[in-house]
Amino acid sequence: MDGQPDLASKPKAKLDYPFEGPPARGHTTEVAPGVHWIRMPLPYALNHINLWALDDGEGWALVDTGVRNEETALVWRELFANAPDERPLTRVIVTHMHPDHVGMAGWLTRKFGVRLWMTPLEYLTCRVMVSDSGREAPPEAIEFFRRAGWSAAAMEAYRARFGNFGKHIHPLPDSFRRLDDGEELVIGANTWRVVVGTGHSPAHACLYCPALKVLISGDQVLPRISSNVSVYPTEPD
């Protein structure tokens, strides 16, 4: 092939799934020592999100929370009722500000009286987007999407849904504990390194534990598709 590598003949990389299926509703599955997998339903085409409970000694550090709605709150109550012990949450860590990840954070931090941990840009961007509730779509956004080639129907749908972001999120606490890239978090018996990435959201935090060889990637790394990376009218250039 003229000196070019024969890519077609190379075996394709694939993921191996060590568990037969996801956790049952209202239950967790331990995937590594002290790392418990939670499956939470979503009312979208992608109908679930994976959350993580990390053994934090006197309680559990939670990573991501699910979207705000009655179904999610019901599943959380089922999880609390089915918990093998009565240890509380010690902190709520949110990878990024999309509603399926941050939606129940305010509810959980208030319920357990614990801190919210996020990168500053994710926390502040979330607060800004919630503040759009009740507003009409700004003319700058309309012009941005018009220049991008959106149809009249797509523009009208955007106008109709603008300002709905806050409906899917419990109000965030007025203070938070910042996460910084490269920071090391001691959670129970393990140390997790914060890895901040951009693209899918402004400052998405992943957590990596070298001792366990476990990466909690949020939406920064997905198993079958690439994460959605978009340009928005708030930062068009």
* Per-chain mean pLDDT for the chain: 92
Contacts 24+ apart (CB under 8 A), 206-210: 206/95, 207/63, 207/93, 207/95, 209/35
For residue 1, what pLDDT is reported? 43
Its pTM stands at 0.90
What is the side-by-side order of every strand in the sheet holding 48-55?
A: 28-32, 35-41, 48-55, 60-63, 89-93, 116-118, 177-178
- The lowest-confidence range among 45-49, 132-136, 158-162, 222-226 is 222-226
Domain 25-134+165-216 has CATH 3.30.390.10: no
pLDDT tens-place string over residues 68-95: 999 999 999 999 999 888 899 999 999 9
pLDDT category of residue 11 using cuts at 50, 70 and 90: low
pLDDT tens-place string over residues 101-151: 999 999 999 999 999 999 999 999 999 999 998 899 999 999 999 999 999
Distance CA 32, CA 176 (A): 28
Q: What type of residue is 148?
A: A
Choose between 65 and 13: higher pLDDT. Answer: 65
